[in-house]
Structure 1
Amino acid sequence: MSDPDSNLDAIYRNLHRNPELSFQEHRTAALVETELRGLGYDVLTGIGGTGVVGILRNGAGPTVMVRADMDALPVQERTGLDYASDTRGTDQEGRELPVMHACGHDMHVTCLIGAARRLASETDSWNGTLEVLFQPAEELGTGATAMVNDGLFDRIPRPEIVLGQHVSPLPAGVVALQPGPAFAAADGIRIVLYGQGGHGSRPETTIDPIVMAAGTVLRLHTIVSRETAANATLVLTIGSLHAGTKNNIIPDSAEILISLRSFDPSVREAAITSIRRIVRGESMTAGAPREATIDVYESFPSVTNDLDAARRTSSVFKDYFGEQNVIEPGAVTGSEDVGILASAAGARCCFWLLGGSNPALFATARSVTDIIETVARQPSNHAPNYAPVIQPTLDTGVEALVIAAREWLGPEINPLPSSSISRDQKDVNRILVVETEAVPLGEDSRRAGP
């Protein structure tokens, strides 16, 4: 078999240049299918729309699933990279939009292809059944559910553990694995406020939904600052406010889209109750002709890593990468739907963050505060100028998936071949072990996922 690490850089650049929106990952799925068939995997396609699963059976032993997501975002890329995307696509509402891999799913796919190659080439080092799953539509929070509802676990063996990773603005060469609650639950909420339209020169004849929306936005932000306890975690972000078509027309409606992140179900329920109260109150105060609509249109649960699985996986990471390069980041407010796969299978979940920022940027860090400040200065996931450095991110990501999969596929870990990851790059990140407590690494470091 040829070098399993060959041309991975080229695959990553190809995927980055050709992103696809959720449930439209046809080109990516075809590339993955070709790779897996060439490696001897049994391949299932079209699960949940565009999902792909490769199965490699290697004697008696555990069944382990390793998962990557494939979809991109409606963002205009501004990285300036020579492999930047200029792709445009049409979303589920029929809007033509720019498309970019602004969350790093192209890196996830490439890393899993690399791991699938490596594990296929080293079957003498593990036993059991390996499942590599490439999932659509993580950004909508519905891709995992779509695959499950399409009979995923009627078609493949149920795994004993689901493994995976998400790239982040941490230094490349670092992996961050949090036992227990690791990623927040997420809700997407759509609010439509109704007014009475008219001419901009005669606002007294109208009920202006834009003014109504402005008041609503300001009041909604008090849910976190004035209604939520300081020791509770809640993030409320208004990512979209749309109203009107022309400067001299007062429209008859305004739409607000909210992203809500939480860990505690009681905090979530209280926040949604407050959103309903505030929206209806603003609407009533404005004398709206009809009640506002409030739709929780997407929801997925928090990701909770199995405690024993996280500790066991973290231990083998530390053996390979060095303790200074394996950290507990604390629970992060980014969200993921990987836990749905584990729950549906009745399996453990172990999901970690993969550093993707240039390690040289952290060379002068001398404290946890320095690290937090450096992370905060990096572009975050979903930003138009976000892109992980290809190396050592890619090599680290492949190694992490291989190490974790082999730990769970076999009773022992055989020595891995020397990685192309530079050890002096790892030394750059030595400061990351200053404290053992789980310290949230700043808002930007937490923005992995949808």
Structure 2
Amino acid sequence: MRLRYLLLAAACLAAPAHAQPDYAPAVEADYKASLGALFDYFHRNPELGFLETKTATRMAAELRKAGVTVTEGVGRTGVVGVMKNGDGPVVMIRADMDGLPVEEKSGLPNASKARQTNADGEEVPVMHACGHDVHITSLVGTAKRLAAMKDRWKGTVIFVAQPAEEPVSGAKAMLADGIYTRFPKPDYALAFHVSSGLATGKVSAAEGLQYSSADALDIIVHGVGAHGAAPHTGKDPVYIGSQIVVALQSITSREVMPLSPAVITVGSFHAGTRPNIISDRAKLQVTVRANDEATRAQLVKAVERVAKGVARTHGMPEDKLPEVRHVEGTPTTINDAALAGRLNAVMVQALGEDAVEPFVQESMGAEDFAYFVEKQYGIPGYYFAVGGTPQAAFDAEKAGGAPVPSHHSPLFKIDPEPSVTTGTVAMTAAVLDLLKPGTGVAAAGN
């Protein structure tokens, strides 16, 4: 795969492969002048999905300062900016902006102390535990660079600050609110995600599957309440629910074809109020992951069958079987092969051969960016990873030191300056290539 990147890059190179773009120093200067402080603000003030009011207001203001025409309130709290520069293709750059209900324990001096009331009326801590603060900071940085280099591109750039990626709801909300009808419809859609599993200064993108699908399911397990000292007089939903948790793993180990990746994780299990009371209800929250739509459908269907089957074995009547509710979901994120091949070569040009890592799927993370590039829209997409952890941290872990924290961990942290600047240089390079004067929209294989 790397050889392909090199051959493609060599075909279009006008400068040595390792030459730094002439705008890279300006990106670094932007970080020191304003982007660093902007990242710090976002990191200290995260907000949950569809509650990103302050974040959206700040993003709108920053994009306007960069010369972008901005519309707020798209898809509830989303922000859409349009920068026109003559006739040419339309490129959309999307950055997600929501945080997670996690209490930050990174030990960083700018660690979040924010709290918000969530959709269930509960006050929870909030943290940028997935790096979305990097994404939106870089979006502003990219807008600044493109505004300063209008002599190098022709066309239109759409800047999207998307809400609610974590509950995989924001992209759908923006589409439902007419993002492709109220604003110029893109010919290409781009996005990146900072990765704690990739060294700073590096990028990586697949020429196909980039992210798995994800479906969130709630399982409501009914029981018959009783005294904890007399379990024989009731039906214990905690015990039934526990058996469901274990039985669900038989789906991935014994029903799905061994070469088809699949994950079923029960991330939340709540029931009861006192140790001596058998509750009449338990709630399980489940995430289901797959790499193709057939397996995805198989898993979701099997979860309901297994949950109800376990309840039946414990004598629950048909009117008290578990309820399985599909809360939210997103399909697989598939990079357009032709576009990814082209832009991976651009990454080699902009960052150097050693900075472009062949993509290897190491987990079953998911992204609702997939909705923006569904086949019905005919928009080829390119989603890439940007390294967020210094190589020294990986070396220390290998030598027996502390492990590098994963995304969604309260210990999660990335190195902001190289993450933001690499993401900004890479995204700017991609847009400049797609909007080179005199080039139309290339055919892509979405």
TM over 0.5: yes
Mapped pair 1:353 → 2:353: no
Q: Percent identity?
A: 39
Aligned to 2:185: 158
Q: Say whether the 8 Å CA contact 2:350–2:425 is kept in structure 1.
A: no
1:158 Cα offset (Å): 0.5
Aligned to 2:366: 335
Distance 1:363 1:7 in 2: 31
Q: Say whether the 8 Å CA contact 1:89–1:98 is kept in structure 2.
A: yes
1:374 Cα offset (Å): 9.7
SS in 1 for 2:265: strand
Mapped pair 1:216 → 2:244: yes
Aligned to 1:420: none
Distance 2:421 2:149 in 1: 17
SS in 1 for 2:121: coil
1:272 Cα offset (Å): 2.1
Aligned to 2:232: 204
Mapped pair 1:176 → 2:204: yes
Q: Say whether the 8 Å CA contact 1:362–1:374 is kept in structure 2.
A: no
**Partner residue of 1:405 out of 431, 435, 438:** 431
Summarize deviations over 1:145-203 as a string: whole Å, max 9, x none.
10010111221110100001011121111101101111111111110110011221221
Distance 1:271 1:351 in 2: 26
Alignment of 1:370-385 (within 5 A): 377-385=403-411
Query: CA, structure 1 residues 91+159, in 2 after alignment: closer, same or farther (shift >3 Å)?
Result: same
Distance 1:82 1:361 in 2: 19
Q: Say whether the 8 Å CA contact 1:361–1:374 is kept in structure 2.
A: no
Aligned to 2:163: 136
Report the residue type matching 2:84 in the other structure.
Answer: R
Report the residue type matching 1:397 in the other structure.
Answer: G
1:205 Cα offset (Å): 1.3
Mapped pair 1:295 → 2:325: yes
Mapped pair 1:37 → 2:64: yes
Aligned to 1:263: 291
**Partner residue of 2:345 out of 309, 312, 315:** 315
Aligned to 2:147: 120
Distance 2:303 2:395 in 1: 44
Report the residue type matching 2:170 in the other structure.
Answer: G
Distance 2:403 2:378 in 1: 39
Distance 2:438 2:245 in 1: 55
Distance 1:275 1:102 in 2: 29
Summarize deviations over 1:231-276 as a string: whole Å, max 9, x none.
1111111111111111111110111111111122221222223212
SS in 2 for 1:311: helix
Which residues of structure 2 form unaligned runs of 5+? 1-25, 440-446
Which residues of structure 1 form unaligned runs of 5+? 414-450
Distance 1:100 1:361 in 2: 22
SS in 1 for 2:201: coil
1:4 Cα offset (Å): 3.8
Distance 1:147 1:168 in 2: 25
1:384 Cα offset (Å): 0.6
- Pairwise CA RMSD of aligned residues? 2.1
Q: Say how many residue pairs are matched.
A: 407
SS in 2 for 1:391: helix
Q: Say whether the 8 Å CA contact 1:25–1:136 is kept in structure 2.
A: yes
1:380 Cα offset (Å): 0.8
SS in 2 for 1:100: coil
Q: Say whether the 8 Å CA contact 2:292–2:332 is kept in structure 1.
A: no
Aligned to 1:245: 273
